[in-house]
Structure 1
Amino acid sequence: MSQIPELDLTDRNWVAKYIDLGKEVLYLTQQEVIGMGLTQEDILKLTEHALISHGKKEYEMPAKIGVHPLPEVFFHAMPAYVPSKNACGMKWIECYPYNIQRFQLPQTTGLLILNDIASGVPMAIMDCAWITAMRTPAVTVLAAAALHPDAETFGMFGCGVQGIEHVNYVVHTLKKLKKIYIYDINEAAMDNLIKICQPKLDVPIVKGTPEEIAKSCEVMSSATIIIKECLSVVKDEWVSQGQTILPADLNTFWDPVTQRRADKYIVDSIAEHELFAGMGYFPDGLPKVCCETGEVLAGIAKGRENKDQLIVCSNIGMSVCDVVVAREVFNRALEKGAGRKLPL
């Protein structure tokens, strides 16, 4: 009979002081997740750690798998393991682009499960919408700082939840910003973003058209709807050498010509972009990928090498970031006695 291998039980023993592992699980609502008090600086540090771990290949994360009940939607199962943070779990999340119009519900909702590494039993079930809303802009602005640290102008396309958080986060990493431009098809969304963000920021926020923003900004990002059709709102002729473009909405918003002619096309996960390409989200095919975002942050791959390079860095979301942030939420919840324990 083979000998049972020894395990480091330090983390399990700590968690077991708070919950009866294998018999109960901690449940956290969205408001309880928010209530754990993670600051933007906390999220940035945790997300940077996850990205660098990914860049160094110190993780396990298969490409997203999903189902598609309606033509324009997807559900994704997103598992990941980041050893350095004892973070192991899976996010189950969906994207319904027309939820707001149809049901007055968010485009994105979902749950995240964390597991004990030593025994595999579930430890926590929590809302993942807030975590997703925070780690997504964190990835964008960390990439922006790595690729264009001296930028004085930033343009944000899409002024919903993600647009608001992108504007809130970008001032933490682009320290020389002098102006932020915003655009949304919905005028009220732009007004709402300014109302929420401007009192917190010293950098002026101004509205612009897609053409004005594309011709004015050194760094731009987009967080709009995710559909297979290329809307090409920003025309390629408006985009210049030396700019940095950071889509958070796949191939939807930009002229696909821009991504193909970029000097460097960088992605957060090659495997996940290839998966989306196979699903039809890149009708003209996936552009040639230079490297991954985490490799740039880890110093393994070069980012911008001269001021004239046009760089597109597409980040569609990786579960390594989700589980690392979720594990910190879980740790704080245990220490604060937050949430409720549910029997398994």
Structure 2
Amino acid sequence: MFKLKVLCKEETEQILAMNAVIDKVQEVYKQKALGETEVFPLIFHEFTPGVADMDIKSGWLKGSGLFGLKVVSWFGENVNKQIPALIGTVLVFDDNTGAPIGILDGSYITGIRTGAAGALGAKYLARTNSEKLLLVGAGHVAAFQIAAMLTLFPDITEVMVYDALDYTSAEAFVNNIKTEFLNKLGITYNKDLEFKAVKDIKSATEKSDIIITVTPAREPLIMAEWVKPGTHFSCIGADMAGKEEIDPQILKRARIFVDDVNQCINVGEIEIPIKKNIITKEDIAGEIGEIIAGITKGRENEEQITVFDATGTALLDLITAKLAFEEAEKKNIGTTVNL
């Protein structure tokens, strides 16, 4: 009865360009700030704590005529089975009829839109002369973070990568990032750019201008006393209750922005500090879209520490899915099925 467009992972990889995704994520953040979207309640279930979980994020893009959801599972032991730990599926519907429009692989969309989100946090909150980037985490999303950051900050001179569990993972990541990822995505960057795996996170933190955290940590990896004035954090990994990547005292000193206030209070980097009364809801300066829309100001001075707490909403997946469908139509890519 209904015709659906189906796009697999390889097809989304073929048609989604990082700069275009960044533009769309920026657009949807602005739409959210202007009241043109809705984020529906998050559904989460942990099958085995710290080992296997799934979440359902959903929402509505009013101006685009779409609503939908993304189901993502993370089964950490999948790596031993030679299959990805992160598996996702995006479903898109017409908001006029409720009819399904399409289904897409969600893992690549999750990676690329999350990379765009972290980099946009830096675009609107980091110092414009930032040169040294620290990635805490060397998993699936880390490469997208670097690709997006180099798209928006082409003058970065050094990228440091730290893996709390396995230094060799950080080494392998650094050795492969250019040939296996950045070149395939067509990302241009400073020819003198240096990539390095680091063992000493304290030393790396002390010289970093921008720090992006993409780990499943449940205890702080970065302490407040290591952080120099003017540092920006994009906190990406804390997206479920109980996760925590940075010392709450950093947040106490920082100007804080979030992607969605309610979601971040419940499952973001600010969740635990608020529960412990280290900070309050009133310490949140606003949502990132409010800076983009010109409603509020981001960084106030060069010495200020800034934090962007990004838990990820379905709005990002839906706007990226919309872009994918548009590009697929132009290039006659994908499969149409009857439901």
Q: Same fold (TM over 0.5)?
A: yes
Q: 1:198 and 1:34, CA in 2 relative to 1: closer, same or farther beyond 3 A?
A: closer
Q: Name the counterpart of 2:122.
A: 144
Query: How many residues get paired?
Result: 317
Q: Name the counterpart of 1:267.
A: 258
Report if aligned partners of 1:89, 1:115 keep a CA contact under 8 Å in 2.
yes
Q: Partners of 1:331 and 1:95 in 2: how far apart?
A: 29
AA matched with 1:312: V
For residue 297 of structure 1, report the CA deviation from its aligned partner. Answer: 1.9
Q: Name the counterpart of 2:298.
A: 303
Q: Partners of 1:26 and 1:285 in 2: how far apart?
A: 48
- 2:211 pairs with one of 220, 225, 248: 220
For residue 286 of structure 1, report the CA deviation from its aligned partner. Answer: 7.8
Write out aligned runs for 1:180-219 (5 A). 180-184=159-163, 185-198=165-178, 200=183, 201-202=189-190, 203-208=193-198, 209-219=200-210
Q: Name the counterpart of 2:3.
A: 24
Write out aligned runs for 1:1-344 (5 A). 22-35=1-14, 37-72=15-50, 73-96=52-75, 98-100=76-78, 102-148=80-126, 149-184=128-163, 185-198=165-178, 200=183, 201-202=189-190, 203-208=193-198, 209-225=200-216, 229-230=218-219, 232-250=220-238, 251-259=243-251, 261-276=252-267, 284=276, 287-288=279-280, 289-344=284-339
Higher mean displacement: 190-199 or 58-67: 190-199
Q: Name the counterpart of 1:5.
A: none
Deviations 1:4-26 (CA, angstroms, capped at 9, x unpaired): xxxxxxxxxxxxxxxxxx43322
Q: Partners of 1:220 and 1:100 in 2: how far apart?
A: 28
For residue 101 of structure 1, report the CA deviation from its aligned partner. Answer: 5.1
Report if aligned partners of 2:79, 2:85 keep a CA contact under 8 Å in 1.
no
TM-score by length of 1: 0.84
For residue 43 of structure 1, report the CA deviation from its aligned partner. Answer: 0.9
- Percent sequence identity is 19
Q: Partners of 1:53 and 1:68 in 2: how far apart?
A: 32
For residue 105 of structure 1, report the CA deviation from its aligned partner. Answer: 3.4
Q: 1:336 and 1:172, CA in 2 relative to 1: closer, same or farther beyond 3 A?
A: closer
Report if aligned partners of 1:144, 1:244 keep a CA contact under 8 Å in 2.
yes
Q: Partners of 1:143 and 1:319 in 2: how far apart?
A: 17
AA matched with 1:339: G
Stretches of structure 1 that go unaligned for 5 or more consecutive residues are 1-21
More strand per residue: 1 or 2? 2
Q: Name the counterpart of 1:18.
A: none
AA matched with 2:327: R
SS at match of 2:245: coil
Report if aligned partners of 2:125, 2:232 keep a CA contact under 8 Å in 1.
yes
Q: Partners of 1:319 and 1:134 in 2: how far apart?
A: 13
For residue 87 of structure 1, report the CA deviation from its aligned partner. Answer: 3.2
Large movers: runs of 4+ above 4 Å:
280-283
SS at match of 1:94: strand
Q: 1:234 and 1:342, CA in 2 relative to 1: closer, same or farther beyond 3 A?
A: same
Q: Partners of 1:106 and 1:285 in 2: how far apart?
A: 38
Stretches of structure 2 that go unaligned for 5 or more consecutive residues are 184-188
RMSD: 2.4
For residue 270 of structure 1, report the CA deviation from its aligned partner. Answer: 0.7
AA matched with 1:244: H
Q: 1:161 and 1:71, CA in 2 relative to 1: closer, same or farther beyond 3 A?
A: closer
Q: Partners of 1:210 and 1:100 in 2: how far apart?
A: 28
Q: 1:298 and 1:150, CA in 2 relative to 1: closer, same or farther beyond 3 A?
A: farther
For residue 281 of structure 1, report the CA deviation from its aligned partner. Answer: 5.9
Q: Partners of 2:6 and 2:229 in 1: how far apart?
A: 49
Report if aligned partners of 2:135, 2:159 keep a CA contact under 8 Å in 1.
yes
